Amino acid sequence: MTPDFLRSGYFIWKEAYMVYQTGILRKAEPLARLERAKVLFLDRLSYRINASSLQKTDYTEPMEMEKRRVNPWSASTTKELLEKINPQMMKYAGYHPSKKAYSGDVALSSLQNSSRNKIVERKYEIKGCPVKGGFAQVYKAYVNSNPDEVVALKIQRPPFPWEFHMYRQLDQRIPENQSSSFGYVHRLHLFSDYSILVCDYLSHGTLQDVINSYAVTGKPMEEVLCIYYTIEMLHMLETLHGVGIIHGDFKPDNLLIRYSRSNLTEDGFKERSGPWRDQGLCLVDWGRGIDLHLFPDDIEFEGDCRTSGFRCVEMQERKPWTFQVDTYGLCVVIHMMLHHSYMEIVKKGTSDGGYVYLPKAPFKRYWSDLWKDLFTKLLNNNCGNDCELLRSLRKSFEDYLHSDDKLVRKLKELLAKQRLLLCSA
């Protein structure tokens, strides 16, 4: 039965939602504040709906309930999960909670582009302008003024310990030989008004920077380079999904570039040994991460990531989803590498009377058939765990590269050129 407050207030909520939508579509200023207000509005609505339904349910363990759809990003779900894992959080290395407000010499609210050399939490000396997100700012900082010990400070208000939990779960579940692909957090300083996440600092830019470097020249990104980064991303998601973790915000801005300390050689590429072990990508920003171990095995997710261009088919059609949020993001990133544009999808009929989703942009004649196979399989995958599919796709791209020594040689040269261009810039 529909709760009375929802039945009576439906049109009020709908009208409020349309006001936010209209403003965003018209790019009303300040747009970032309006988008954040819309996110908070939807979370409040989700909380009221969930609170009403839970009042009728006698339960003691959050999420230990009959199968239902859950928005993993709603304020109510996050609150339930944090309460459930709090005893575990208290045992994490680097977890420094306080019930008091932040009281350092520098007010965190005053940090701006001119904050260079200011000291945060008595030891972190800010050395770079912030990278601004929806709810947080990320700064480059020296530890105890030591230029050889550089970290990234993610300062967030309101405080958000969930990302720290996700990083510690990665530490526990990801094999050591793959851990460099998923970032590392040293500690979390948690206050009543702010949180300060201290992470490894990678200085070589993002995959978005690589894509932009080709877009500004009007030249396409070489296919062998697209294949290499596709292998890296397929391997990432295969590993993550295999240990019950969903990233939830898979996009090129969150994929940092890793370079080997020594020059790449043609040897070791197939085994990922030598310099190739340190070369690749690093997936960061785990604020939307989903820990499947905290949910029933048959859980179905609902909710919209609300990131333009990265809403999976299921979100667009208001269907339940799980791993599709990541694999759709992967398809968008690959599309951006190939076409320098976000992906639009179309529904095409098949000979058996069904339909498939495919990218609207055509595949180039001189491209490998691997691309069409990848998009067709990932955009139309409705099964549960997708690890076997990701593994088979990765193997097909790896076999393609390994089939010709000239491709590996060209890849090595392109990565060296990329490093020279972007790192010098």
Catalytically active residues, by annotation:
249
Three-state helix/strand/coil letters over 296-349: CCCCEECCCCCCCCCCCHHHHCCCCECCHHHHHHHHHHHHHHHHCCCCCEEEEE
Which among 175, 197, 171, 176 is positioned nearest to 186, based on CA atoms?
A: 197
Which among 271, 268, 311, 266 is positioned nearest to 288, based on CA atoms?
A: 311
Phi and psi torsions of 415, nearest 5°: -70, -35
Which among 231, 246, 178 is positioned nearest to 385, based on CA atoms?
A: 246
Query: Beta-carbon neighbour count of residue 7 at 10 Å?
Result: 9
At what angle are helices 405-424 and 207-215 packed, to 10 degrees? Answer: 90
Question: Rounded to a whole number, what is the distance in angstroms from the first to the last CA of the chain?
Answer: 60
Q: Give the SS3 label for residue 353.
A: coil
Instruction: Answer left, alpha or beta for residue 291, where phi above 0 means left and psi between -120 and 50 means alpha.
Output: beta
Which among 72, 52, 83 is positioned nearest to 299, based on CA atoms?
A: 72
Which among 281, 289, 76 is positioned nearest to 164, based on CA atoms?
A: 289
> What's 57's DSSP letter?
-
Give CA–CA dist 63/47, Å, rounded: 15
Residue type, 47: Y
The structure tokens listed for 199 are 């992470």
Give CA–CA dist 298/300, Å, rounded: 7
Is-contact 80 98, C-beta < 8 A? Answer: no
Going 177 to 181 to 187 to 191, the CA torsion angle's sign is negative
> What's 110's DSSP letter?
G
The structure tokens listed for 47 are 């909380």
Q: Where are the alpha helices (DSSP H) in 352-404?
A: 370-379, 387-402
| Residue 198, strand partner residues | 153, 187
> What's 307's DSSP letter?
-
